[in-house]
């Protein structure tokens, strides 16, 4: 019984990782745009030209931090949702109530 459950968990984990890797996540904050996948791979950053002036250095730094934080929060939310869905798919009927009692 448990061997099948463990095999199913491994398959579900692999499927979840694939889903995270192919799900795009975008965040925009006042002229800064960051995009990557839900597996925490950030692969694009776009910065509005007017933020690249030396007198806007501190503003740019703050916006980069804010935008990255927004992007990461979106990624974390998706990962949590996918993980919860995976657990619900793996557990036999009735076990989800048992898990809820441990929270």
Q: Which helix (H) or strand (E) holds 101?
A: helix 95-101
Q: Is residue 29 part of a domain?
A: yes
Report H helices in the chain.
2-22, 57-90, 95-101
Q: What is the span of the domain harbouring residue 78?
A: 20-96
Tell me if 79 is assigned to some domain: yes
Is residue 85 situated within a structural domain?
Answer: yes
Q: Report the candidate in 3, 1, 67 with the shortest Cα–Cα distance to residue 35.
A: 67
pLDDT by residue, tens only, the chain of 103 residues: 556 656 777 888 888 899 999 999 999 999 999 999 999 999 999 999 999 999 999 999 999 999 999 999 999 999 999 888 877 777 666 665 655 665 5
Please state the pTM of the whole predicted model: 0.78
Provide the number of structural domains found in the chain.
Answer: 1
Q: Does residue 13 lie within any of the structural domains?
A: no
CATH of the domain at 45: 3.30.1310.10
DSSP 64: H
Contacts of 41 (CB under 8 A, 6+ apart): 21
Backbone angles phi, psi at 23, to 5 degrees: -90, 120
């Amino acid at each position: 019984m448990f061997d099948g459950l463990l095999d199913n968990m491994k398959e579900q984990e692999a499927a979840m990782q694939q889903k995270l890797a192919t799900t795009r996540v975008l965040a925009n904050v006042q002229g800064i745009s960051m995009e990557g996948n839900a597996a925490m791979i950030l692969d694009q950053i776009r910065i509005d030209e007017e933020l690249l002036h030396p007198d806007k250095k501190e503003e740019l730094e703050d916006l980069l931090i804010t935008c990255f934080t927004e992007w990461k929060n979106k990624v974390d939310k998706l990962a949590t949702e996918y993980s919860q869905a995976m657990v619900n798919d793996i557990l036999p009927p009735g076990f989800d109530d048992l898990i809820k009692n441990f929270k």
